[in-house]
Structure 1
Amino acid sequence: MQPAFVVLTDMSAATEVALTYTSRLAQRLDGRLVLLHVYLDPMLAPDAAVMASPILVTSRKEIIAYLVERAQELPVPAEAEIVVDMLSPALADVVQRHRPLLLACGREQPINLLDRMIGNWVLPILQQAHQPLLVVPEVWQSTELPRRAVVATDDKAFWLSAPSLALTELLTSLKLTTTVVHVAEATGPSRADVGLASAQRTGLFGHLTENSLYEVCEEAPADGILHAAAELHAQLLVLLARPHSFLGGLFHHSVTADILRRSPVPVLVLPTTA
């Protein structure tokens, strides 16, 4: 069965960037795409965690017609689905049926619109699906797949979940040059080696040595990670979503959320088991 990549669509410019990027990833594995649009009448559930489409449509038929046409234009096999449901159960159903390698969505500009996306898209994905999540910023214009990646780690060991480890073939095919970035605490000994050892153990990021470690001092975690990614000319930023990040209150104040709002490069969020 062809590996699946699910792209959450709202027919925005940001979605188009994510769709193009994810199509290129799918081509690496002869994979397929699923274009998922979650449709819910705001009159029925005004507080539902869904994103409103930026395109004015009069019916679900118009949406599905657009998505089907767009799917036919892609360079890989693709299908379109529109579901009338809340986002969380829709994701659960899609994951069960398609067993995707990852879920992808676009990040809109200006940045303040992402605050809504963080709650409406990312949090339900991490809470319910526990799948790897790719967030592609609307400003990302590169036509090439990533060759330089940064993996952001803290001072605690981590073990990736089974869905995260399922990305081994894809990430290996990219032949990434990977740097493990650690933002050191203001005081106390460095524990950068802990994150490096955990990244090495995953086998996802190519050959890592002590020279693959980049430590940042005297910066806030999100600032340090983003500055390091810029200095290293990273084309992909990998973040770890630990189980406690699935709690809404913590997530909204986490380093992960801050980086997702601000990163100028695509971000891959990998769930861990610890």
Structure 2
Amino acid sequence: MVLSLIVFAGFYPPARRAITYADQLAQALEGRLVLLHVNRASQFDPYALGGRSYQQGELARQTDTAAILARQAEDLHTPATVEVATDLLPAVAQELAQRHAPALFVLSQPDENSPAAANLLTACMEILRTGSYPLLVVPPTDAAGHVPRRILIAADRESFTLAPEAEALRPLLALPGTELIVAHVSSGVEDNEGCALALRAVQASSLVQGLPAPELRGYQHERHA
């Protein structure tokens, strides 16, 4: 199965940076991209009460946006398709996840200097987190031209089971030169036993099966940075 990434697309620098980074990542993993453009994000459908004609009109006005994104997709290093929606709703996120089975949703980090854009991205992240979808946030200072080389896996004492989609990330962990770190955060005390159990939980999940043992690091929540 080909790995896919859904990246929130737009024409301003943060969104363009997220597309570039997702393209680099998908290229390294021999995957594909879905460029997703939305105008809003909400837990509730604003067109639910008889406004479908307005929604269709709004979608029609996005024809040019979709066409430009499609032209940009042709210049990427990986195969890419375009999806346009008026609103990211929980049901829309679920439908996209079922149809594309993405290993990750990718979006740019909210920029506090652009409140409207930041509010949209924050709302998108909240919907994705609530739905437990895998999420990659691209910071404004990402290293252009480089896929992740240091991957931190946050874990606690509890064992866990991976969803099938997580298997698509194993090639990323296995890229040459990748450093894997398991981090356990304790509250106010040094919890070495908890650190050891966190590493055991990660290893038992099969996420790092066949890979060198990850480095283990413990942090207290007051000094987690």
1:182–1:216 Cα contact (<8 Å) kept: yes
Report the count of equivalent residues: 207
Q: Report how far residue 175 of structure 1 moved.
A: 4.9
SS of the residue corresponding to residue 175 of structure 2 reads helix
- The structure whose Rg is larger is 2
Q: Report how far residue 135 of structure 1 moved.
A: 0.8
For residues 53-68 of structure 1, the aligned pairs below 5 Å read 59-68=61-70
- The sequence identity of aligned pairs, in percent, is 27
Structure 1: which 5+ runs fail to align? 47-57, 228-274
Q: Deviations over 1:205-248 (max 9, x none)?
A: 43226xx212224x42xx51xx3xxxxxxxxxxxxxxxxxxxxx
Please say if 1:208 is aligned against 2:210: no
CA distance 1:30–1:73, change in 2 (3 Å) = same
Which of 147, 150, 165 is the matching residue for 1:148? Answer: 150
SS of the residue corresponding to residue 74 of structure 2 reads helix
Q: Deviations over 1:129-180 (max 9, x none)?
A: x332111012223321122222222343333333223322332235521122
1:103–1:131 Cα contact (<8 Å) kept: yes
State how far apart, in whole Å, the 2-side matches of 1:196 and 1:111 are.
Answer: 39
SS of the residue corresponding to residue 187 of structure 2 reads coil
2:40–2:120 Cα contact (<8 Å) kept: no
Q: Report how far residue 182 of structure 1 moved.
A: 2.0
State how far apart, in whole Å, the 2-side matches of 1:187 and 1:107 are.
Answer: 31
Tell me how large the CA RMSD over aligned residues is: 3.0
Q: What TM-score comes out, normalization by structure 1 length?
A: 0.65
Please say if 1:165 is aligned against 2:144: no
Residue 28 of structure 2: aligned partner = 28
State how far apart, in whole Å, the 2-side matches of 1:10 and 1:70 are.
Answer: 11
State how far apart, in whole Å, the 2-side matches of 1:118 and 1:108 are.
Answer: 6
Residue 51 of structure 2: aligned partner = none
Structure 2: which 5+ runs fail to align? 48-59
Residue 50 of structure 2: aligned partner = none
